[in-house]
Amino acid sequence: MSPIALIPRPQHLDELDEPPFVLGETSTVVVEPRPELIQTGVLTADLFGRLSGRAIEVRYAGAEPAPGAIVLTRTGPVADGGPGADETYQVVVRAGRVEVRSPSVAGLVHGVVTLRQLATVEEGSVRIPAVRIQDAPRFAWRGLSIDVARHFFGVEDLKGVIGLMAHYKLNVLHLHLTDDQGWRLHVPSRPKLTELSSDSAVGGDRGGFYTPGDFAALTEYAAARGIRVVPEIDVPGHVNAALHAYGELTPSGEPTDAYDGIEVGFSRLHADLPATQPFLEAVFTDVAAMTAGEHVHIGGDEVLTMEPEEYARFVALASQVVRAAGKKVVGWQEIAQTPLEPGTVVQYWDTRVDPEPFVRAAREGALLLMSPGSKSYLDMKYDPTFPLGLEWAGHIEVRDSYDWEPTTLVEGVPAESVVGVEAAVWTETLRTVDDLTTMLLPRLAAVAEVAWTPPQARDWADFRTRVAQHGRFWDHLGVAWHRSPQVDWTTRP
């Protein structure tokens, strides 16, 4: 790819009047001998080794690197650099040497994937054009939410998605782990959740779940690529899987039947049942203990049969349990109708509702995460004839996912209250990894640029030209993607 094909578009890019860097037989990756940097060095060597077809050695910093080195250096913190300052990175590519510098491992990863996007293979030789790049993200939260409850995707499937996320500098993987159709994370204190409610999925398909070991391995894999995992346990609605496993959570004391449909709003917990608070305390405490990051998502959406007073008490209780376990609270936009602690993240998804609760929540210290269904719900059909997806939020083509501004989405919410942007993909109709990536690509690249690049540097015509070159990379990976008619792709079907 050429430099202009970088996604997200960087803040500053200067093409240097020099020959390109050519990855040679003596090329090495050079890092300081610190565990987290060694890991990043190994990932870099593996990435370019696979691209070049030859093994690349990782060496420790010390003596002057030999020509042909890719040098990764961790710098000091950036003062007053904005919400994403620790992810700032610099890349300088010259004929004999590449330097990537950042105050964080995540920033180094961003620099490395920038190099990967710049790299071309010509006559068996990997070349990177001579450039100088200075870059930093606009928002600190740049996420993708994946519903693994309605259809289950295993660890290896998610590792592939994490690779795509890292390629486009997304840094939060939000997993919707529980719903009416299935419970996908083993909770040691409530083992029947996975014993009885993990093997179902929409349409009678096979389910599955993650063990604590699976979840830890996934978290570690994501962290090495600059991505943190946010688990979601959706309460007090979307809970039929929990009610099926533990009948004491129902007013009758009887467990519900398993459910494999796609309707919403019919199941809920009850704040005043004796079993409810111990259940919340056990589940969220266990989930928090498995979570390396600082956030746990409590859900809170589409509770259609609960009175506002009970709902507010329930949100307060779930939030209290999460905070007591040492984590910060995230919830869907409905929680903005209740009193919230400052710093709570409210995930905005339905643009059809009254903005007043969000304005009030922001005024009282809440942060808004922008996931508008009409722009960033990537399970929506591309057009009315598309065979996958739903269309309750409309049809979303690539330009729809690109042409919107997060800080003006909710009138009256100040820009500084917007913590970031998150795409979401719900899996009612998505059964395979090919289904999943077809809905993600190319729209995920569009949302990633909205999350990273300030509005004055974004332009649809320019993005359309750049993303046209990324189909070759997706083909190289062997992933399925949608050839949107809005883009003149440079790769043939």
Catalytic hit among 32, 36, 248, 302: 302
CA atoms within 13 A on the CB side of 321: 24
Can you tell me which residue has the tokens 């190099």? 115
302 is catalytic: yes
Planar angle of CA 178, 184, 187, nearest 5 degrees: 95
Pairing relationship of beta strands 12-15 and 131-135 according to DSSP bridges: antiparallel
Short-list 103, 158, 75, 92, CA closest to 130 = 92
Pair 137, 105: CB distance under 8 Å: no
State the Rg of the chain over Cα: 23
Give CA–CA dist 307/316, Å, rounded.
14
Can you tell me which residue has the tokens 């943190």? 228
Short-list 349, 344, 337, CA closest to 313 = 337
Instruction: Give me the numbers of helices (H) and strands (E) for the chain, helices first please.
Output: 15, 18
Can you tell me which residue has the tokens 């008490």? 313
Give CA–CA dist 156/175, Å, rounded.
15
Annotated catalytic residues are 302
